[in-house]
């Protein structure tokens, strides 16, 4: 299936998979005025600070003053969006739109799915190598460096977030494919996920991915959600209970 200009096939999969591509579809006025993700990852960009704005917004939403915690949760949310869009396109269309950081505009104040807007749809290959290039190397590696440099978040934690986000996206896509009796989507999603988890940057992040399904994924790190007021441990956390629990 060829990519359509609106990536409409992604919409039935849910908000994390949807990607706005039409002018005016973003949640904060004219999307052309929004910063790009390239600006968010850059170390010295004059003018507004999209990464700092997002981290502050996440901290306020979670009611935590720990910027390291807000940075971690914010990064995992963005990683989940990027993996969902990329994996969904590859499994449904067999193609991937170019997801370069300079083509993706980011509404740091908006919730899913109004946070990301793709400037234009350019079709490319949809294999696991293309997904790794687009999401891991194109986004998560520069984002990891920015968060380490600015907020001191550990590389292993951020890569664990990346693995957890991929596993979550794969679970949701598999669930939808089973419910819709789309066996070809299920098979492709599992194959892509297994190949991605064999990537050197993702292989150390967790266990339970060898069968091609992400259902049993357990990460080797913690996203720090337990440090949020009222928070706890996630279903794939390396901890079985919060480290500060009695």
* For residue 244, pLDDT beyond 80: no
Length of the chain: 246
Using 50, 70 and 90 to split pLDDT, how confident is the model at 240? Answer: confident
Q: What rounded mean pLDDT belongs to the chain? A: 90
pLDDT of residue 246: 41
Helices (H), 93-210: 128-131, 141-151, 155-179, 183-196
DSSP H helix total and E strand total for the chain: 7, 6
> Does the structure show a pLDDT above 80 at 24?
no
Res 222: pLDDT: 95
Please identify which residue in the block is written with the tokens 């706005």.
20
From the list 101, 91, 168, 183, the residue with the least C-alpha distance to 134 is 101
pLDDT at 147 over 70: yes
Parse the chain into domains and list their residue ranges. 8-227
Residue 8 has pLDDT above 50, yes or no: yes
Confidence of residue 211 (pLDDT cuts 50, 70, 90): very low
pLDDT at 104 over 60: yes
Does residue 25 register a pLDDT over 60?
no
Q: What would the mean pLDDT of 26-49 be, rounded to a whole number? A: 79
- 97 has which bridge partners? 123
Whether the CB-CB separation of 105 and 120 falls below 8 Å is answered with: no
Q: Which pLDDT belongs to residue 114?
A: 85
- Compute how many other C-beta atoms are within 10 angstroms of the C-beta atom of residue 229: 8
Q: How confident is the model at residue 140 (pLDDT cuts 50, 70, 90)?
A: very high
| Confidence tier at 52 by pLDDT (50, 70, 90) | very high
Q: Using a pLDDT cut of 70, give the percent of the chain over it.
A: 92
φ, ψ at 126 (rounded to 5°): -120, 25
Give yes or no for residue 210 having a pLDDT over 70. no
Q: 107 Cβ partners below 8 Å, 6+ apart? A: 26, 27, 28, 31, 34, 114, 115, 116, 117
CA dihedral 238, 150, 71, 170 (to 10 degrees): -70
Stretch 218-245: mean pLDDT, rounded?
Answer: 90
Residue 214: predicted pLDDT: 55
């Amino acid at each position: 299936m060829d990519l359509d200009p609106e990536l409409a096939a992604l919409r039935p999969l849910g908000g994390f998979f949807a990607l706005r591509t039409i002018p005016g579809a973003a949640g904060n006025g004219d999307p052309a005025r929004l910063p790009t993700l390239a600006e968010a990852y850059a170390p010295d960009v004059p003018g507004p600070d999209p990464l700092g704005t997002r981290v502050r917004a996440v901290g306020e939403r979670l009611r935590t003053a720990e910027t390291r915690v807000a940075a971690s949760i914010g990064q995992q949310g963005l990683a989940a969006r990027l993996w969902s869009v990329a994996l969904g396109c590859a499994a449904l269309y067999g193609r991937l739109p170019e997801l370069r950081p300079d083509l993706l505009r980011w509404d740091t104040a908006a919730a899913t799915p109004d946070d990301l807007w793709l400037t234009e749809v350019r079709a490319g290959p949809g294999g696991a190598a293309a997904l790794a290039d687009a999401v891991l190397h194109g986004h998560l590696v520069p984002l990891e460096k920015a968060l380490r440099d600015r907020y001191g978040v550990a590389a292993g934690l951020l890569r664990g977030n990346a693995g957890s986000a991929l596993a979550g996206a794969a679970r949701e896509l598999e669930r939808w494919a089973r419910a819709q009796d789309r066996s070809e989507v299920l098979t492709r999603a599992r194959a892509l996920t297994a190949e991605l988890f064999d990537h050197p940057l993702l292989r150390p992040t967790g266990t339970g991915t060898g069968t091609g399904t992400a259902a049993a994924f357990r990460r080797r790190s913690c996203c720090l959600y337990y440090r949020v007021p009222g928070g706890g441990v996630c279903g794939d956390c390396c901890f079985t209970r919060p480290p500060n629990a009695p």
